[in-house]
């Protein structure tokens, strides 16, 4: 299977779509079962969905580099989408390095760390960890 050295993040109405260089990825899954015990000590388990996150570490330039890759302004614009009723909404389409598409929400915080001593300009780069909560793949399953 062919892979890319980047991911694509796109807002819900496709008005902003940008590639980002991914340098690390974790895909943790979490069970949301609820386990209680009855008075007699027997377990009473209610099964919940399994939640999946995509946690990426990205290498992002501060300013537009004149190519098809996104910069910090693009990433901040996507991350700050918080209204589910707005256009664009808070749903982000992630296209992973395999070309698979997933609908996601941003979660947690975003704390850019400068990669160089330059904080502005074309030589300024950041390492940014982002967390995306998986909703469904783009086909709706």
Which pTM was predicted?
0.83
Bigger pLDDT: 49 or 108? 108
Instruction: Give CA–CA dist 9/130, Å, rounded.
Output: 11
Contact 61, 72 (CB under 8 A): yes
> What would the DSSP string read from start to end of 39-83?
TTS-EEEE--PEEEEEEEEEEEESS--SSSB--HHHHHHHHT---
Q: Is residue 43 part of a domain?
A: no
User: Is 39 within a domain?
Assistant: no
Q: What is the pLDDT of residue 116?
A: 83
Number of domains in the chain: 1
Place of tokens 């979490």: 30
pLDDT digits (tens, 9 = 90+) for 83-122: 999 999 999 999 999 999 999 999 999 999 998 887 888 8
Full DSSP string of 94-114: EE-TTS-EEEEEEES----EE
41 domain residue, yes or no: no
Per-residue pLDDT reduced to its tens digit, 4-40: 889 999 999 999 999 999 999 999 988 888 889 999 9
- Tell me whether residue 40 is in a domain: no
Give the per-residue pLDDT at 57: 97
**Cα separation, 88 vs 85, whole angstroms:** 8
Q: Which residue has the higher pLDDT, 50 or 59?
A: 59
Could you tell me if residue 116 is inside a domain? yes
Report the C-alpha gap between 6 and 88 in whole angstroms.
23
Question: 18: part of which helix (H) or strand (E)?
Answer: strand 17-26
Helix (H) / strand (E) containing 6: strand 6-10
69 forms beta bridges with 19
Is 37 a member of any domain?
A: no
**Does residue 1 fall inside a structural domain?**
no
Domain-embedded: residue 35: no
Domain region containing 93: 6-30+48-137
């Amino acid at each position: 299977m062919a892979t890319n050295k980047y991911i694509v993040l796109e807002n819900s109405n496709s008005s902003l779509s940008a590639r980002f260089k991914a340098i690390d990825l974790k895909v943790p899954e979490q069970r949301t079962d609820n386990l209680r015990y009855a008075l007699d000590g027997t377990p009473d388990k209610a099964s919940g969905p399994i939640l999946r996150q995509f946690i990426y570490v990205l290498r992002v330039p501060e300013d537009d580099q004149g190519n098809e890759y996104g910069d910090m302004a693009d990433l901040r614009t996507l991350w700050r989408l918080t209204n589910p009723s707005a256009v664009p909404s808070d749903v982000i389409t992630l296209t992973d390095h395999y070309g698979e598409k997933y609908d996601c929400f941003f979660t947690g915080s975003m704390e850019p760390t400068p990669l160089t001593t330059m904080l502005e300009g074309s030589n300024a780069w950041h390492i940014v960890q982002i967390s995306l909560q998986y909703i469904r793949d783009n086909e709706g399953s």
